[in-house]
Amino acid sequence: MAYVNALNSRSADRLIEVGGVKDEKWSRNEAEQILADKGGRGWKIKDVQVEHDMGPDTGSARLMAEDNAGKPMRDTFTVTREKGAWHLVVFTQQPAESGKESASTDKPSS
């Protein structure tokens, strides 16, 4: 899996490619955060399950891996198909497109 290879190689470029996002300051910063947390640990994939449970171009992937020290990693991702290529949604800090507002995650005030 390209995501695990990007983590093991500590490659921000590869992580950005896997995530299908533009190579910009925000994506570089988030890639570096992900790599600082999970990169270079010799992950070996134990199991991957992909389901097209959200439509033909969107689904979910469950990843189970283990690092060199035997520490497990379990992660669930949304997978999306754009222009025929599948991408993991690993970047969460992507800015809203110009002219669009992002959904608020604030609790409503009473």
- Tens-level pLDDT at each residue, the chain (110 residues): 889 999 999 999 999 998 889 999 999 999 999 999 999 999 999 999 888 877 888 999 899 999 999 999 999 989 888 888 888 888 988 777 654 444 444 444 44
Relative orientation angle of helices 2-9 and 25-38, to the nearest 10 degrees:
80
Is the whole-model pTM more than 0.85? no
Looking at residue 45, its pLDDT comes to 93
Cα dist from 95 to 4, 21, 25, 102, whole Å: 25, 11, 11, 8
Looking at residue 30, its pLDDT comes to 95
- In the numeric block, the tokens 């669930």 are attached to 76
- In the numeric block, the tokens 């002219």 are attached to 99
Evaluate the CA torsion angle 90, 95, 99, 101 in order and state its sign. positive
